Structure 1
Amino acid sequence: MSTSPEGTVRPSTPLASGGPKLSVVVPVYNEEENLADLGKEIREALVSIDYEVILVDDGSTDRSFAEIETLGRLDPRFKAVRLGTNFGQTAAMAAGIDHAAGQVLAFLDSDLQNDPRDIPGMLVKLDEGEGWDVVSGWRKRRQDKWFTRRLPSQIANAIISRTTGVTLHDYGCTLKIYRADFIKNLRLYGEMHRFIPALAGFLGARIVEVPVNHRPRTRGVSKYGLIRIFKVVLDLHTVKFMHQYLTKPNYLFGGGGALMLAAGAFLGGVTLYKKYWLGVFVKDQPLFQISIFFSLIGLQLLLLGLLAEILIRIYYELRGKRNYFVRRTVNFK
């Protein structure tokens, strides 16, 4: 019996067998003081690996892009993507994903708090046993202030893990490694970058978490504040909704419509009972009007659910999208 990869998700391929190319994606925003050292650390850490580095300048207002260009002149493996303005970390990561050529993608912060020396070990972990699809960094000994950084992060991690069912200690750690088959089929919007492991998990990705080194920031200032925890909560609702109802919107609208129709039918039955068995004049009573209101709303929700189903099918058909991913096939050529 032979097996062959097909579709958008391939079986895990050992890095040692031919060595798939690694793309290191680094979002950059006003980090001019750190980029030269970052480039040096990456070159030293990945000396035995075939790689490229995609540095995405997210509308920096300092000399970050000039520093990126310098890195590119010194080493052609360092490539630059410059965004028109500050679109945010999610957009910067999405741009890096779209421009990456590697079969494995690693993500790294540009502030030197992540340690590039962790990447080789994470690549080894990626092919451990039957192979993983995502290796997620865990800043077990995080070098940040407890009240303003670590505490909000712990709360957010607990909420995300419980809501999505994909349990991680550290969703906020940028240092993560993905097989390109998964990451390139995720569309990222808003502030969705922190949910990438959960989105991959929804597709059946095998995820493992490993402790990584974390260093205190020595230059520059943090670009994050306490407001981010509110963004996490808002985006989490979007992620949950998209996962549950994107391909089956009738479950949402149809379910609500069915409940409204049932309520309308029940109230209508009570109205008929009062009219024909008790002899009560019900035409001007609120109960009669409420039953009609519930019935009409329920019917509209059912029709809205059917319309949404049609639109979703048109979306997938026109874009050639599938609502599933094939990991492996047997005896297909």
Structure 2
Amino acid sequence: MTEPQISVVVPVHNERDNIAPLVGEITAALRGRLPFEIVYVDDHSADDSLAVLRALKAGVPELRVLHHVAQSGQSAAVRTGVKAARAPWIATLDGDGQNDPADIPKLVAAREAADPQVKLFAGWRVDRQDSGSKRWASRWANRIRCRLLRDETPDTGCGIKLFEREVFLDLPYFDHMHRYLPALVQRAGWKTVSVPVAHRARTSGVSKYNNLGRALVGIRDLRGVAWLIARSHRTRVEEF
């Protein structure tokens, strides 16, 4: 099998009705463009998401299926997928179908045109299809995060991203880290770029988050990431 140039990592928890349509869209977006693989990570779903994934494998040769034996959260699932990925670059998508896989080639094109120092291309949902309360909460969270972390990223909560695998695995890991990737990548000495992408309404399943719970966790995480940035120190290395 040809080595993939890109690994599409999709974490899922109780998304059985969204899996097959999203897999179909990923293959439609990437087949014939570049070698790829799809790495689904089932985070110990209580529904039959795992059974759906295992059945799909027979007809989708690019699909790989990993399973957490205990629920561990989205950041853990993303990291599991990235560690297992065979490609040097990773694209991530949320498993709820709200990210459009057709935007992956757009991120790849942005990478090909960018400075080599850019190691993260973050999706930016310019026309969000969420409830008013969720949009309001995200808008304020982004303003607070930008002011505190100075990551100059308008939308860190967007699930579709493209980044270099090696850079990601060199970042400090903690629960919910996937929401702070631009700041963490910049802390490591690399550049990031935000790319406008599509956003779709959820058509099946239910959201795993609520505004209050996300806000309470976010305050603690923001303080932690700010501490990491304040304590960071990079040293140039020369080899002779």
TM-score normalised per structure 2: 0.92
| The one of 43, 49, 67 aligned to 1:64 | 49
Could you say which structure has the higher strand fraction?
A: 2
Q: Structure 1 pair 217/86, CA: closer, same or farther in 2 (3 Å)?
A: same
Q: Report how many aligned residue pairs link the two structures.
A: 235
Aligned counterpart, 2:107 = 122
Preserved contact between residue 52 and residue 78 of structure 1 (Cα < 8 Å): yes
Match of 1:221? 206
User: Per-residue deviation at 1:324?
Assistant: 5.0
CA distance in 2, matches of 1:64, 1:167: 36
Any idea what SS the aligned residue of 1:199 has? helix
Amino acid at match of 1:90: S
1:144 pairs with one of 97, 112, 130: 130
Q: How far apart in 1 are the matches of 2:68 and 2:202? A: 25
TM normalised by structure 1 equals 0.67
Aligned to 2:79: 94
- Whether the 8 Å contact between 2:6 and 2:36 is mirrored in structure 1 is yes
Q: 1:245 matched to which residue of 2?
A: 231
Report if aligned partners of 1:20, 1:104 keep a CA contact under 8 Å in 2: no
Query: Partner amino acid for 2:180?
Result: F
Residues 225-246 of structure 1: per-residue CA shift (max 9 Å, x gap): 0110111111111111123236
Superposition pairs of residues 226-237 of structure 1, within 5 angstroms: 226=211, 227-237=213-223
Structure 1 alignment gaps of length 5 or more: 1-18, 248-322
Flag the 1:206–1:68 CA change in 2: closer, same or farther, 3 A.
same
User: Equivalent residue for 2:61?
Assistant: 76
| 1:141-173 Cα deviation digits (max 9, x unpaired) | 0000011x1111111111111111111111100
Match for residue 156 of structure 1? Answer: 141
1:238-258 Cα deviation digits (max 9, x unpaired): 1111232366xxxxxxxxxxx
| Alpha-carbon contact 2:171-2:188 (below 8 Å) kept | no
Return the letter of the residue paired with 2:132. W
Q: Verify the 8 A CA contact 2:94 2:160 in the aligned structure 1.
A: yes
Q: Gapped runs of 5+ residues in structure 2?
A: none
Q: Give the partner amino acid of 1:35.
A: I
Tell me which of 24, 38, 52 is aligned to 1:40.
Answer: 24
* Larger helix percent: 1
The aligned residue for residue 188 of structure 1 is 173
Are 1:25 and 2:3 an aligned pair?
no
